């Protein structure tokens, strides 16, 4: 911390979350005095009254969630789930008293029985609330190390047999749509007028809210998720002839699970067909086109989750190189 003396006054300049605050004192201040005044100035900018400094974390979390009402209903539902599963001692701790020791204790208690990703998601919300109400706290904690999860992608053979099993059921259309890159929420929200002669107009989603009710979102998961997916005309005709799926969302995965058991396949889900779509498209289209068709906003997400296509392509190249040299080096 650098204190600048100007005449008979002292000035401290500090930056918090991209905003620079200039604090003035009539004496050389201590670190404690700087921190206290800085917190007051930040709270003024944020519009947070001094009364709220007496909030317990439960109060702050509830207000924070209410402030985020424009978020997706499914995101709010996720927040509510986290809210229900936080320990009572942390919920009842005053915000002004929360420090890194409390936060690390919370992480340590959340860790057993939960995946590193789940713990990270829990702390993502907790950390956001703490930073919002106490931005001067420098959060330093250790989260559990992430583990690499290999997502199983069904083979061409498995997908073909699955479609044969579904051909005379109401599950055929949602499976078909997933194989063309749609998310489950997008499949559930489709209307027949969204199915054109040569494309599907994806522009809304049906998601669960905090009360476990399905609600329609007029906007999709991301800006890029609103898109057109081009399909053969005969596929569009088949979808219109059969009609769209309007049943229980979980019923689709139940059907897939039962057929995996029947056919002796490794279990996969409806979303796995979206993985399958990305794998197939990555082999024949540029990355930008695959991103657009699938509605991915971040190429790194697609590459991390759906990198099997690159592996398959590498094996194909190895095979071609081996073929080219077989008469030369055996």
Q: Which residue has the higher pLDDT, 65 or 42?
A: 65
What whole-number distance in Å separates Cα of residue 104 and Cα of residue 266?
A: 38
- 56-114 residue pLDDT tens: 999 999 989 988 877 888 899 999 999 999 999 999 999 888 999 999 999 999 999 99
Closest by Cα among 188, 209, 182 to 294: 182
- 123-174 residue pLDDT tens: 999 999 998 888 778 899 999 998 777 778 899 999 999 999 999 999 999 9
The pLDDT value given to residue 45 = 67
Confidence of residue 299 (pLDDT cuts 50, 70, 90): low
Which tokens in the block code for residue 297? 């906003």
Confidence of residue 223 (pLDDT cuts 50, 70, 90): low
Residues 6+ apart with CB under 8 A from 152: 266, 267, 268, 272
What whole-number distance in Å separates Cα of residue 255 and Cα of residue 318?
A: 38
Confidence of residue 323 (pLDDT cuts 50, 70, 90): low
Q: Which residue has the higher pLDDT, 112 or 224?
A: 112
Average pLDDT, the chain: 84
The pLDDT value given to residue 306 = 54
Look at residue 300 and tell me whether its pLDDT is greater than 70: no
Confidence of residue 50 (pLDDT cuts 50, 70, 90): very low
Q: Assign residue 105 a region (left: φ > 0; alpha: ψ between -120 and 50; beta: otherwise).
A: alpha
The pLDDT value given to residue 281 = 83
Look at residue 181 and tell me whether its pLDDT is greater than 50: yes
- How wide is the angle at C-alpha 152 spanned by C-alphas 261 and 221, nearest 5°? 110
The pLDDT value given to residue 278 = 86
């Amino acid at each position: 911390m650098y204190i600048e003396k100007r005449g008979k006054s002292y000035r401290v300049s500090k930056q918090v979350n991209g905003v620079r605050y200039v604090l003035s004192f009539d004496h050389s201040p201590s670190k404690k005095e700087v921190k206290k005044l800085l917190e007051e100035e930040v709270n003024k900018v944020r519009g947070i009254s001094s009364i709220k400094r007496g909030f317990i974390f439960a109060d702050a979390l509830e207000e924070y969630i209410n402030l985020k009402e424009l978020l997706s209903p499914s995101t709010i539902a996720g927040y509510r789930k986290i809210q229900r599963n936080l320990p009572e001692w942390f919920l009842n701790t005053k915000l002004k008293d929360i420090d890194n020791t409390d936060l690390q204790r919370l992480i340590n208690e959340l860790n057993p029985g939960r995946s590193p990703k789940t713990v990270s998601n829990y702390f993502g919300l907790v950390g956001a609330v703490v930073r919002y109400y106490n931005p001067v706290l420098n959060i330093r904690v250790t989260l559990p190390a992430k583990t690499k999860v290999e997502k199983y992608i069904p083979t061409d053979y498995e997908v073909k047999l699955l479609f044969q099993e579904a051909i005379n059921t109401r599950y055929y259309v949602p499976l078909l749509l997933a194989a063309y890159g749609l998310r489950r929420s997008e499949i559930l929200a489709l209307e027949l007028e969204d199915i054109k002669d040569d494309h599907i107009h994806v522009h809304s989603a049906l998601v669960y809210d905090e009360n476990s009710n399905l609600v329609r979102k007029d906007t999709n998961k991301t800006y890029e998720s609103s898109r057109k997916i081009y399909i053969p005309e005969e596929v569009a005709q088949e979808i219109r002839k059969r009609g769209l799926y309007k049943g229980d969302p979980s019923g689709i995965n139940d059907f897939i699970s039962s057929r995996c058991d029947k056919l002796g396949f490794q279990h996969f889900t409806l979303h796995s067909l979206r993985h399958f779509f990305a794998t197939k498209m990555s082999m024949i289209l540029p990355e930008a086109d695959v991103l657009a068709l699938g509605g991915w906003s971040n190429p790194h997400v697609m590459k991390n989750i759906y990198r099997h296509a690159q592996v398959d392509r590498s094996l194909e190249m190895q095979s071609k190189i081996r073929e080219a040299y077989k008469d030369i080096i055996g």
